[in-house]
């Protein structure tokens, strides 16, 4: 057995002792975060698989459920562990809630254990409802019964070096950076509560809390958030954030906590949230408590449900999600500045890359990733990358979420395609950009895929659409050129981007899932279609766009997409016959705007190179 199969067996020993038939582990944290601190990476620790996904272990089976972005990576990393890959976002998918009752269809009594701190209420309810739909009785004694056991932190028994809950410096942002003051946001949310009859509200999603309090931290790599809970009533604000004494050298956090206290925010210990909530509902201090089921963890929900004799617990969707996604004028100005500065760094990087490869310099994927990081780090206000840079050459780019190795990364040669997906966190905004770069001669298939993906990108970028159009309908605009050639990609076409916050944010998301949220003026969203051919190459073209008004006529109000990203698309390997005149015009106008905006701020040799790169096509 290898290390990871041994860890699976260690989990099974706990299961046998506890009488559990299945254990579910997730890659999220007590706040349902997409990206989490190392403490909440149990799937990776047990199996060796480092991508997104959930793990189910039974006494006779172990499987990881993940989507199309990670299939190749999962198959490689799970090899030899005895853990199977269960594919999601495919027509034949069977998700965990449906798989469990099917797997245990012959059992009389089934006990499913999960770490309630790292499972959202909604995900546990999905499992419960799936068992009920298959004729099982919850907590029953009959011939078909099931029980969901809350086993928070059970892995601590075998994960002896498990990382602690992080506590990093906290900073506050002023109205000159974010537009709305902390007090304005609190007043707005209280008004929302009053209008709906709520006298308390708990925020559990980290980006929502950071937005509400105008705070930022470093508790989660790449996401400038602070691990915490925020409890609001009509006359108090309690922030459960402190994980221990503040180090003497951390004056930033002390100053920030002082500012927050002055604004009426009561600073509490992070691990006191459960007792505070239980005391509130048990002692009838509140009559209606609002909770976001998408980010509330099951452990807290169970504690509240067990003690809320009179208080009404209302599960719903937090209003902060949408309000945060629609950027105000100050935030939009900051995002423009971020993308301008980022564009200058990107053009310097692409120039360096082309010259290095052309001159025969030894450059590998990891060195290229470090170069773009170094160029961004020169920008005042740079606070780090917005996600781990994907620097992928040739076949490696066929993995949409390729992890660039520090040791042994692929050398770049003057042929084929290189893909770089990267972004920066700045005090004034967040960026996310992908460019696929021809490093030299390319095959006809590489050229065709490159052009078709760009055609899809342009198709979405230049479209004017009716106000109120659902995101899931807009997604198809980027896929039609690929579908017409019987090609497709397995990830979403676009996601929301936060303002100096998470690079992935909702509620908007351009994907085939039935997301009925429309794009709205002020939203910042990516456009990133792709094509991935295992063992050959990958192509993705990504910009961030701002949704803006396009006017009104007898048919209603219209919206369009304004590009925030400033970085040219390489036209050297385009197949012009695959583009129509409108698409060529869009491309020429975009590249011309990039040159006119950035050239005055680039070194002379880079500006001259960019002039050649942005010459009109056709």
Mean pLDDT, range 218-247, rounded to an integer: 95
Domain boundaries, the chain: 3-157, 171-324, 326-613
Around Cβ 262, how many Cβ atoms within 10 Å? 8
pLDDT of the residue at 235? 93
As given in the structure block, the two tokens for residue 342 are 């980022």
pLDDT band for position 182 (50/70/90)?
very high
pLDDT band for position 68 (50/70/90)?
confident
Q: 171-324 maps to which CATH number?
A: 3.40.350.10
Question: May I ask the CATH architecture of the domain 326-613?
Answer: Alpha-Beta Complex (3.90)
pLDDT of the residue at 170? 96
Closest CA to 263 of 225, 219, 214, 228: 214
The model's pTM is 0.92
Around Cβ 290, how many Cβ atoms within 10 Å? 24
pLDDT band for position 189 (50/70/90)?
very high
pLDDT of the residue at 141? 66
Whether the predicted pLDDT of 379 surpasses 70: yes
What is the topology classification, in CATH, of domain 3-157? Creatine Amidinohydrolase; Chain A, domain 1 (3.40.350)
As given in the structure block, the two tokens for residue 514 are 């039935």
Q: Name the 3-class secondary structure at 404.
A: coil
Whether the predicted pLDDT of 311 surpasses 80: no
pLDDT of the residue at 581? 97
- Angle between helix axes 273-282 and 298-307 (nearest 10 degrees) is 30
E strand or H helix at 71: helix 71-77
Q: What's the CA gap between 403 and 82, in Å, rounded?
A: 22
Sheet holding 382-385, edge to edge: 382-385, 424-426, 429-430
SS3 content of the chain, % helix, strand, coil (to 5): 40, 25, 40
Which sign does the torsion angle of CA 42, 48, 50, 52 carry? negative
pLDDT digits (tens, 9 = 90+) for 458-488: 999 999 999 999 999 999 999 999 999 999 9
Whether the predicted pLDDT of 115 surpasses 70: yes
Burial status of residue 310 (CB atoms within 10 A of its CB: 0-12, 13-18, 19 or more):
exposed
356 versus 305: which is more confidently predicted?
356
**CA contacts within 13 A on the Cβ side of 367:** 12
Q: What's the CA gap between 128 and 100, in Å, rounded?
A: 10
Q: What is the CA radius of gyration of the chain?
A: 25
Question: What does the DSSP 8-state code read for residue 287?
Answer: S
Which percentage of the chain shows pLDDT scores above 70?
99
pLDDT digits (tens, 9 = 90+) for 10-64: 999 999 999 999 999 998 999 999 899 999 999 999 999 998 899 999 999 999 9
Mean pLDDT, range 365-372, rounded to an integer: 98
pLDDT digits (tens, 9 = 90+) for 80-104: 899 999 999 888 899 999 999 999 9
pLDDT of the residue at 428? 97
pLDDT of the residue at 514? 82
pLDDT of the residue at 282? 84
pLDDT of the residue at 1? 65
Whether the predicted pLDDT of 142 surpasses 70: no
pLDDT band for position 521 (50/70/90)?
very high
pLDDT band for position 154 (50/70/90)?
very high
pLDDT of the residue at 230? 98
In the chain, count of helices (H) and strands (E)? 19, 29
Q: What's the CA gap between 614 and 121, in Å, rounded?
A: 51
pLDDT of the residue at 340? 98
pLDDT digits (tens, 9 = 90+) for 384-432: 999 999 999 999 999 888 889 999 999 999 999 999 999 999 999 999 9
514 versus 55: which is more confidently predicted?
55
Q: Are the C-beta atoms of 569 and 527 separated by less than 8 Å? A: no
The per-residue pLDDT of the chain, averaged, comes to: 95
Q: Do domains 171-324 and 326-613 have the same CATH topology?
A: no
């Amino acid at each position: 057995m290898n290390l990871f199969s041994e860890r699976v067996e260690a989990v099974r020993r706990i299961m046998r002792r506890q009488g559990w038939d299945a254990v579910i582990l997730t890659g999220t944290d007590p706040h349902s975060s997409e990206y989490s601190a190392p403490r909440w990476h149990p799937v990776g620790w047990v199996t060796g698989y480092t991508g997104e996904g959930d793990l189910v272990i039974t006494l006779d089976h172990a499987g990881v459920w993940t989507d199309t972005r990670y299939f190749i990576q999962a198959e490689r990393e799970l090899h030899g562990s005895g853990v199977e890959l269960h594919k999601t976002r495919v027509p034949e998918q069977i998700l965990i809630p449906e798989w469990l009752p099917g797997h245990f269809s012959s059992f009389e009594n089934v006990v499913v254990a999960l770490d309630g701190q790292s499972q959202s209420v909604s995900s546990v309810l999905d499992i419960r409802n799936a068992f009920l739909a298959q004729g099982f009785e919850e907590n029953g004694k009959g011939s078909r019964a099931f029980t969901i056991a809350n086993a928070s932190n059970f892995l601590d028994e075998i994960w002896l070096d498990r990382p602690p809950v992080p506590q990093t410096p906290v900073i506050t942002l002023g109205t000159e950076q974010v537009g709305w003051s902390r007090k304005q946001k609190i007043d707005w949310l209280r008004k929302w509560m009053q209008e709906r009859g709520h006298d308390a509200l708990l925020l559990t999603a980290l980006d929502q809390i950071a937005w509400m309090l105008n705070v930022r931290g470093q508790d989660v790599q790449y996401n400038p958030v602070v691990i915490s809970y925020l409890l609001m009533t009509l006359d108090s604000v309690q922030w459960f954030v402190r994980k221990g004494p503040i180090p003497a050298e951390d004056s930033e956090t002390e100053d920030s906590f002082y500012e927050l206290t002055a604004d009426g925010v009561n600073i509490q210990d992070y691990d006191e949230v459960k007792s505070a909530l239980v005391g509130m509902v048990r002692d009838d201090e509140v009559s209606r408590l609002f909770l976001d089921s998408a980010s509330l963890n099951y452990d807290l929900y169970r504690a509240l449900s067990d003690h809320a004799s009179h208080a009404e617990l209302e599960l719903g969707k937090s209003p902060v999600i949408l309000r945060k996604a629609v950027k105000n004028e100050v935030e939009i100005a900051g995002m423009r500045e971020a993308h301008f500065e980022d564009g200058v760094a990107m053009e310097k990087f692409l120039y360096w890359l082309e010259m290095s490869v052309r001159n025969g310099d030894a450059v590998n994927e990891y060195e290229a990733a470090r170069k773009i990081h170094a160029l961004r780090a020169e920008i005042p206000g740079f606070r780090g990358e917005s996600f781990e840079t994907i620097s992928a050459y040739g076949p490696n780019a066929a993995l949409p979420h390729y992890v660039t190795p520090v040791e042994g990364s692929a050398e770049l040669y003057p042929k084929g395609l290189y893909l770089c997906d990267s972004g920066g966190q700045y005090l004034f905004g967040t960026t996310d950009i992908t460019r696929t770069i021809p490093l030299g001669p390319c095959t006809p298939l590489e050229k065709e895929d490159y052009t078709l993906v760009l055609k899809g990108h342009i198709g979405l970028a230049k479209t004017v659409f009716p106000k109120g159009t659902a995101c899931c309908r807009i997604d198809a605009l980027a896929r039609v050129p690929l579908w017409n050639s019987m090609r497709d990609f397995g990830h979403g076409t676009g996601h929301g981007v936060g303002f100096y916050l998470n690079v992935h944010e909702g509620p908007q998301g351009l994907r085939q899932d039935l997301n009925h949220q429309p794009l709205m003026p002020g939203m910042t969203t990516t456009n990133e279609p792709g094509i991935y051919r295992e063992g050959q190459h990958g192509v993705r073209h990504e910009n961030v766009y701002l949704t803006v008004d396009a006017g009104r006529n007898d048919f209603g109000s219209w919206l369009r997409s304004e590009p925030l990203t400033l970085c040219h698309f390489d036209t050297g390997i385009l197949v012009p016959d695959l583009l129509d005149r409108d698409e060529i015009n869009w491309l020429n106008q975009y590249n011309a705007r990039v040159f006119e905006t950035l050239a005055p701020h680039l070194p002379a040799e880079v500006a001259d190179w960019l002039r050649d790169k942005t010459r009109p096509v056709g």
